[in-house]
């Protein structure tokens, strides 16, 4: 725990279980042990890499406030899992009843005569086997620059949101294409069935015409029993009539016609 006169932070280090290409978050709890309202601001040396929510706020007397620090997905691990990023927690007494919306940057300006308490927090990466990699015990160099992590990360998070939205749109397009392909396949199968049905009907009609023609050539009326037999044969074959059956009926008609003439 890092303890100050106004606010204490737990833990005293920001520990991230490091994984490549994955956003990682850790929490920081701020405790106000005084009877005063205390405003705070969190800054970082690498604002493009981290997002702090909330990065400013007010901790009521004898109460706590949770802060979530999120590290953007990293493409590669630092050498020896050592991280030089630092965070700065600034706190100042404010008037009772002040809210987060009332906080201004001027409140944390030391040059304006404000009494600002500062607490430095370092970042520690924990390797996948959960082996803590402790950073250097030396404090940050005098030239270290801290920046507000709230607005600097807006572009980074907006980019990630756009990529996520584009991925959802691609999935929706893919689903629409699949639905269209399924519909076209069903229509194709239906058209094939209708075509087969029409072909069978046409074949049946041609066969009837052929039988009648052959039978009429024998100058004999076509018996109704032959027509019934033809229909039954067509029904058995799924709507179609075999060529051999047609020829057999036709030949039988010619023979009977020839016999009747004699």
Per-position pLDDT tens, the chain of length 262: 667 789 999 998 999 999 999 999 999 999 998 999 999 999 999 999 999 999 999 999 999 999 999 999 999 988 888 899 999 999 999 999 999 999 999 999 998 889 999 999 999 998 765 444 444 444 444 455 666 655 444 555 455 555 555 555 555 556 667 778 888 888 888 889 888 888 878 777 776 676 666 555 554 455 565 556 655 655 555 545 555 666 676 677 667 666 766 5
Tokens of 175: 């689903």
In this prediction, residue 45 carries a pLDDT of: 94
Give the side-chain half-sphere CA count within 13 A for 234.
20
Contact yes or no for 126/11 (Cβ under 8 A): no
Instruction: Determine the topology of domain 7-126 in CATH.
Output: Immunoglobulin-like (2.60.40)
Q: Is 190 exposed, middle or buried (0-12, 13-18, 19+ CB in 10 A)?
A: exposed
In this prediction, residue 196 carries a pLDDT of: 86
In this prediction, residue 233 carries a pLDDT of: 57
Contact yes or no for 34/6 (Cβ under 8 A): yes
Q: Which helix (H) or strand (E) holds 214?
A: helix 154-216
Tokens of 229: 């037999």
In this prediction, residue 179 carries a pLDDT of: 79
Tokens of 96: 């009772």
């Amino acid at each position: 725990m890092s303890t100050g006169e106004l606010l204490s932070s737990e833990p005293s280090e920001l520990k991230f279980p490091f994984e490549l290409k994955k956003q990682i978050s850790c929490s920081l709890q701020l405790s106000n042990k005084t009877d005063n309202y205390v405003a705070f601001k969190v800054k970082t040396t690498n604002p493009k890499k981290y997002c702090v929510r909330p990065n400013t706020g007010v901790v009521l007397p004898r109460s706590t406030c949770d802060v979530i620090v999120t590290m953007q997905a990293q493409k590669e691990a630092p050498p020896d899992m050592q991280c030089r990023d630092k965070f700065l927690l600034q706190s100042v007494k404010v008037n009772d009843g002040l809210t987060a919306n009332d906080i201004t940057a001027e409140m944390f300006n030391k040059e304006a005569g404000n009494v600002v308490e500062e607490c430095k927090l370092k970042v520690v990466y924990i390797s996948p086997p959960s082996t803590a990699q402790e950073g250097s015990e030396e404090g940050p160099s005098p030239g270290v620059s801290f920046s507000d992590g709230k607005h600097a990360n807006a572009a980074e998070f907006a980019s990630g949101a756009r990529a996520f939205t584009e991925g959802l749109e691609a999935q929706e397009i893919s689903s629409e294409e699949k639905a269209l392909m399924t519909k076209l396949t069903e229509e194709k199968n239906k058209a094939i069935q209708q075509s087969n049905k029409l072909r069978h009907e046409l074949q049946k009609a041609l066969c009837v015409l052929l039988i009648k023609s052959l039978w009429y050539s024998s100058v004999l009326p076509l018996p109704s029993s032959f027509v019934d037999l033809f229909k039954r044969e067509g029904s058995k074959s799924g709507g179609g009539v075999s060529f051999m059956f047609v020829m057999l009926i036709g030949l039988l008609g010619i023979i009977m016609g020839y016999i009747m003439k004699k």
